[in-house]
Amino acid sequence: MTEKQSARHPPDADASTHESPSLFGARTTIEHVEEGSALAPKFDAGGLIPCVTTDFHSGEVLMVAVMNREALANTIQTGEAYYFSRSRQQLWHKGATSGLVQKVLEMRIDDDQDCVWLRVEIDGGASCHVGYRSCFYRRVPVGAQRERGGSLEFTEQEKTFDPKAVYGDAPNPTQL
Ligand SMILES: [Zn+2]
């Protein structure tokens, strides 16, 4: 992490652990990255790596987010999912506010090590701040499905929790 990035985090940011220098290996050769046994993640120019998170038991995609080095390190060291919030520009311990912490049962890295996959269990069964189990709660009709109209179709009929009750007046992370 650069000093500029760490300066964005307030001193009381939820960083229970600090990255040990040995957590991430160097990206030396393609063979090393693709076939080796060392974690050597590729962060983009903004210092971020995308992460897809699925329900360990159902396989359902719960969310797609990004991590910075600190988030990835914290996730590895604590076994709970940390992300980087682009809307708030800070480290984000998922569930710190809502109590819906994601317990990471398995973490995988893809072939070129530029994408992370978390397989998680969630207390309370919900993941999405809108109140749904998955962030992907609407279907976009494609091809022949458009014969029934082009509107988004809700795949979850009920919210798992009431976001107003859980978050109160906290600012909505969704930005227009
Ligand atoms: Zn969501």
- CATH code at 31? 3.10.20.810
How many Å apart are CA 93 and CA 101, to the nearest integer? 8
pLDDT tens, residue by residue, 96-133: 888 889 999 999 999 999 999 999 998 777 888 899 99
Q: What is the pTM of this model?
A: 0.83
Half-sphere exposure of 77 (CA within 13 A, CB side): 17
Range of the domain at 50: 18-124
| Distance from residue 64's CA to the centre of ligand 1 (Å) | 9
For residue 60, is it within any domain?
Answer: yes
Q: Is residue 106 part of a domain?
A: yes
CA distance 1 to 103: 25
Q: What is the per-residue pLDDT for 19?
A: 55
| Window from 58-62, 127-131, 151-155 with minimum mean pLDDT | 127-131
Q: Is 142 inside any structural domain?
A: no
Residue 62 has pLDDT above 80, yes or no: yes
**Is residue 102 in a domain?**
yes
pLDDT digit string, tens, across residues 10-29 = 444 444 455 555 799 999 99
Q: Is residue 159 part of a domain?
A: no
- CA of residue 135 to ligand 1 center, whole Å: 4
In a domain, residue 2? The reply is no
Q: Ligand 1 center to residue 32 CA distance, Å? A: 35
**Phi (first) and psi of residue 65, to 5 degrees:** -145, -175
Residue 27 within any structural domain of the chain: yes
Position 77 in a domain: yes
